[in-house]
Structure 1
Amino acid sequence: MACQPPCLETVLPIAPLCPLAWSNAIEPANALLEDWLFDAGSLTRRLTRLSADSFTVVPASEGWAVLREDECLALGLPPNAMGWVREVYLSGHGRPWVYARSVAGQQALKQDGFPLAALGSRSLGELLFVNGGFTRGAIEAGRYPAAWLPIDVTGEAPWARRSRFDRAALGILVTEVFLPEFWAALPGSTEAP
């Protein structure tokens, strides 16, 4: 029987019993979800407009770590590869709207020299869209396992999207998880889809 998210954790908190089922379509179709999950533009710019310029990036954690199996696969890295992991909240009006996790393989990041470790509260998305040379791959969406979220985030398997940004040998996988407060902030919306 196929495993469906959210997956249960094993002893290692980063390793699920089954991979998240990423897809390039939402079933059943949902116009609101598709509009936000598959928009190819900068999410930072879109959240800045939605928040009437009351947008901030709040760092949660970052550092070298063993990447999850699904991240290694998406970046073409061997299992248990080391990489830089950056986790932030994209906030509007001081409320966390999106949890973002960005990862890059250690060797490629060091060779490229991209300043992923030095961003602080600056938006990675803005650098990826402004900094020449990055190409965005396909956007995939799915339900993000609650077990993968930081402990201060509650809720069950929120909608998320991910895409890979490439420049020469460097691949950066960016995952954005839309939290319930985001959906509540949309005009005319009161709850998460």
Structure 2
Amino acid sequence: MTTTRLTRYDRSMLRLMNDRRAASWYATTARRRLTVAAHAALTLAFGGLMTHFFLAKGEPLWPVAVMVALLLPWMFATGVINGATRGLLELREHVLDERQSAERTRVLARAHRVMTLLLAAVAVSLLITGGVAGDAPKAYAAPLLIAVLVVHWVMPLWVAGWHAQDEPADDDVLEPGAVGV
């Protein structure tokens, strides 16, 4: 951390992001990756439901109800990922130590590269679809742009959660007879 004085908000966020009471949810790499996959699946479900809502004839309200029902598990998964990364992306820069700041930079760079590849794939698929159909699918442009914006927003969180490391083992715990005199 720098010598910048922490505000009450900074202290409360630092305390919240370093709260280890829910550590069992993200204690292993497999659990963290499962949480990231669940978060991505829930985000994809939101995108599909939003697309259906905007493109369906008669505008049924059931997609909105399902989106509201999926919001709580999505927020829970977001909290688990933030806890696993100790708030790497949620804390302000001056609250992070040098290692966390460097990790944040690596995560953002990796997320940027993944997002660039995803955007290129979407652009190519739209060009191919437009070439085959003879016209670009204009009805999907707005939902696709919204989906890309959402993925752009959560990609750093997914990358940070996917690459988060296990907590180091306690070095203070000595086994009986380990200290030789």
- Pairwise TM-score range, normalised by the shorter structure: under 0.3
Greater RCO (CA < 8 Å, at least 6 residues apart): 2
- Indicate the structure (1 or 2) with the bigger Cα radius of gyration: 2
Please identify which structure carries the higher helix content.
2
Please identify which structure carries the higher strand content.
1
TM-score using structure 2 length? 0.26
TM-score using structure 1 length? 0.25
